[in-house]
Amino acid sequence: MTEKLNLRQSEALFAQAKKLVPGGVAGIRRPYNFVPGEYPIFFDHGQGGRVTDVDGNDYIDFLCAYGPIILGYREAEVDEAVIAQIRNKGFCFSLTQPIQNQLIERLGDLIPCCQMAALVKTGSDATTIAIRVARAFTGRLKVARCGYHGWHDWCVEVKGGIPQKLYEDIMEFEYNDLDQLEDLLKQHGGEMAAIMMTPIGHSLNQPVQMPKPGFLEGVRCLAEEYGVVLIFDEIRSGFRVDMGGAQKLFGVTPDLACIGKAMANGYAISALVGREQVMNVLADKVFLSSTFFPNSDAQVAALKTLEILQRDRVLEVIRDKGTRFGDRVAQTVKASALPVTFSGAPWMPYITFEPDPDKRYKILRQEFYTQLIRRGVFLQPYHHGYICYRHTDQDLDFSVNAIRESLDELKNLA
């Protein structure tokens, strides 16, 4: 049995933060999304594939800031490019800097659906403007959705403070269930503006799913049949599963796509990209503006990140590492004979516990992730992880052993 980590400084900062910030820290970073009392609440620094908390505990980090860290923390080449932009040119102006064009031309070279693009800051920005564009383009209101899509009124799961009329035209369907989507379109096709979906299924608390044969192709056909704008939410899959996203990997091209996270190795940028005919409603029919959307610091980071990803064949390296890691974890999980599922390899590793009527899975889940964090492996109980370029073979070997040891600790509880 491993000892509980020293988290005194984290807990002290959290007590202070609760007097300053509602909930102490924001949303998904709050302690109840991990194992309260076992996980740190504040990090101090990171380097490569590791992070260190304010109490000096060091972790192999598989959460990767919830996805943006595709290379590694403090990637010198990216940071130096941004520093040079700040020192030599500046990054926040009343007008746009030329690097906007350079970045969007690069996106067009890489992403199958990208004929035009709008640069924004967050995944929620990109998904929300995608819905606005689809509604303006079609003149319709309703949306069929499958995935997370962010915190804005139309899609957020927690409905506090949101009038029902702002989400009553949003209809959910299950990933890999083409019949359910078709039924929605049969009922509402003439009113449906968009199908918004993640091309890889990653529902909260659920194993990561890859598309069944014919699923994405079937969605594409239904969108065309009913004149609906097909939107891929590639915030997580973009620049991770392929330089052209999951649409390139699976050979199914949407009308619009939302990209972000891995695009700039941690700098705040995302984009809506898509077919010129659809995107052009942003020219005169749909309003989109923000003081900070044109800032060039993140655009520089994105260009440099994309350069490194291609130059160093980063995604091939990640896929190879993730495949080896995933194979070993899958074998470890199977050998444990516990009610555990491993999914998401090679890109989004996730260890979940199979629900049972007595809800013993919750006890097993909490104990597993307690044992894992005590061994210095940072994964989230309710969210899949990621493999980054700077995760070393030694990091991955250590983590496989930590997973095996943590599962062994559960056998007296199962």
CATH says 76-311 is which class? alpha beta
Whether 194 and 144 have beta carbons less than 8 Å apart is answered as yes
pLDDT at position 414, please? 63
CATH code of domain 8-73+314-410: 3.90.1150.10
Residue 289: CB atoms within 10 A of its CB come to 6
**CA 276/CA 13 separation, integer angstroms:** 49
Whether 155 and 145 have beta carbons less than 8 Å apart is answered as yes
pLDDT at position 1, please? 65
Q: Is residue 305 left, alpha or beta, with left meaning phi > 0 and alpha meaning psi from -120 to 50?
A: alpha
pLDDT at position 204, please? 81
**CA 323/CA 334 separation, integer angstroms:** 16
Inter-residue long-range contacts of 225-228, CB under 8 Å, 24+ positions, other chains counted = 225/185, 226/185, 226/189, 226/190, 226/192, 227/138, 227/189, 228/138, 228/144, 228/185, 228/189, 228/192, 228/193, 228/194, 228/195
Query: Which are the contacts of 222, defined by CB distance < 8 A and separation ≥ 6?
Result: 178, 181, 182, 185, 195, 228
pLDDT at position 72, please? 98
Which residues in the chain are classed under CATH 3.40.640.10?
A: 76-311
For the chain, give me the number of helices (H) and strands (E)?
A: 13, 13
CA dihedral sign of residues 260, 261, 262, 264? positive
Give the alpha-carbon dihedral of 78, 84, 87, 93, to 10 degrees: -70
In 3-state terms, what secondary structure has residue 53? Answer: strand
Q: What length is written for the chain?
A: 414
Which residues in the chain are classed under CATH 3.90.1150.10?
A: 8-73+314-410
**CA 48/CA 63 separation, integer angstroms:** 13
Reading the chain (414 residues) residue by residue, the pLDDT tens digits are 689 999 999 999 999 999 999 999 999 999 999 999 999 999 999 999 999 999 999 999 999 999 999 999 999 999 999 999 999 999 999 999 999 999 999 999 999 999 999 999 999 999 999 999 999 999 999 999 999 999 999 999 899 999 999 999 999 999 999 999 999 999 999 999 999 999 999 988 899 999 999 999 999 999 999 999 999 999 999 999 999 999 999 999 999 999 999 999 999 999 999 999 999 999 999 999 999 999 999 999 999 999 999 999 999 999 999 999 999 999 999 999 999 999 999 999 999 999 999 999 999 999 999 999 999 999 999 999 999 999 999 999 999 999 999 999 998 886
Pair of tokens at residue 194: 């968009």
**CA 281/CA 276 separation, integer angstroms:** 9
